[in-house]
Amino acid sequence: MIKHASSHGLAVLVCTVCSALLIHLLQQVLPVVHDKIIDISASAVSSLGLSVEPTLVAPILLAFVLALIWGAAFKVAMKK
C-alpha cells in the first residue's frame, strides 16, 4: 500500500513538472505540436464551460497523459 501511495505522489510531482517543461520545449522546437495541444486544451475548456486560459490547461492535460503512462508502467513493473 505504501509503495502505491508513494508512487502516486511521485507521479503527480514528476508528471506536473515534466508536462510544464514539455509544453515549453514543444513551443520552441515543434510549434505545430504545441499548437495542437493548445487546441485540444481549448476544446476541453470549452466543453467543460470553464473560464480558464487553454495555455493553463495544456500542462494539466499533458500531466494526465503522463500519469496514465506512469501508472501502466508501475502496474507492469509490480507484476514481476
- The pLDDT tens digits of the residues spanning 40-57 come to 999 999 999 999 999 999
CB 38 within 8 A of CB 50: no
Query: DSSP label at 49?
Result: T
Residue 25 lies in a domain: no
Query: What angle in degrees, to the nearest 10, is found between the helix axes of 31-48 and 2-29?
Result: 120
Q: Domain limits at 61?
A: 2-20+30-78
Amino acid type, 60: I
Residue 39 lies in a domain: yes
Residue 50 lies in a domain: yes
Instruction: Name the range with the highest mean pLDDT among 2-6, 22-26, 64-68.
Output: 22-26
Cell numbers standing for residue 24: 515549453
Number of domains in the chain: 1
Q: For the chain, give the mean pLDDT.
A: 88
Residue 44 lies in a domain: yes
Length of the chain: 80
Residue 71 lies in a domain: yes
Residue 21 CA to residue 34 CA, distance in Å, equals 12
- The pLDDT tens digits of the residues spanning 69-79 come to 888 887 888 77
User: Which pTM value belongs to this model?
Assistant: 0.76
